[in-house]
Structure 1
Amino acid sequence: MDTIFSAELFEWRGPAPFYWLSLPADVCDYVRAEASAATYGWGAIPVSVRIGGTGWETSLLPRNGVYLLPVKKDVRTQERFGDGDTVTVAMSVAPRGGRAANGTGPTV
């Protein structure tokens, strides 16, 4: 993994609840530096992520000058954390073509 950071999980209630981690400023700088080789449109940046023993692929979404990392229910359940908890994340930006469109790229 290219970067490690800690962030607090928060819930955003839209039509369905989603849980997110807001990337710290220095990690956003790393993502911006890698973005041109990775983005597939709309500012979404594909990443490989690991929290504890759980790894997966997803995409960061830009919001208010930072990037947000969505965290699936399966990950929150397996790693036993929830809203308001601070978690440590290992993450790499995945270069375009480095992961399959269905999210079944290389194992993290």
Structure 2
Amino acid sequence: MPAAPNPVVTLSFEAEVIVWRGPSPYFFAPLPPEAGAEVRRIARAVSYGWGVVPVEAKIAEVVFTTSLFPKPDTYLLPLKDMVRRKADITAGDRVVVELTVKLSPP
């Protein structure tokens, strides 16, 4: 994965892709508890509002930027349609994620 500007923490984990079927379906890779705890440790320093945390992620060979959504016990990595199509993943798939938490823009 290319070096992200202002990297703070780099994590690697495996997760099962989940879907939330609200008005529009959203797909997420939940961070395992230990990875969520590491992000929570630095969240105040990197969040740019509402507790979201800017990251660069890599699944398969697909590199993308997004923000983690906070949940009471972990964070959710949103998977946009473009990412899911390029990486050929859907709900229930297990994915290996490389994640770099970045400092929020000034």
Q: TM-score range by the shorter chain?
A: 0.7 to 0.9
Indicate if the aligned counterparts of 1:60 and 1:70 stay in contact, CA closer than 8 A.
Answer: yes
Aligned pair count reads: 98
1:90 aligns with 2:98: yes
3-state SS, counterpart of residue 84 of structure 1: coil
Aligned counterparts, 1:15-94, within 5 A = 15-94=23-102
Displacement of 1:62 in angstroms is 1.0
Q: Which amino acid aligns with 2:16?
A: E
Indicate if the aligned counterparts of 1:34 and 1:93 stay in contact, CA closer than 8 A.
Answer: no
Name structure 2 gaps, 5 residues minimum.
Answer: 2-9
TM-score normalized by the length of structure 1: 0.85
Aligned to 1:105: none
Deviation string, structure 1 residues 49-100 (Cα, Å, up to 9, x no partner): 11111111100111232111100111111111111000000001110227xx
Identity of aligned residues (%): 39
Indicate if the aligned counterparts of 1:10 and 1:84 stay in contact, CA closer than 8 A.
Answer: yes
TM-score normalized by the length of structure 2: 0.86
Measure, in 1, the Cα distance between the counterparts of 2:23 and 2:65.
23
3-state SS, counterpart of residue 43 of structure 1: coil
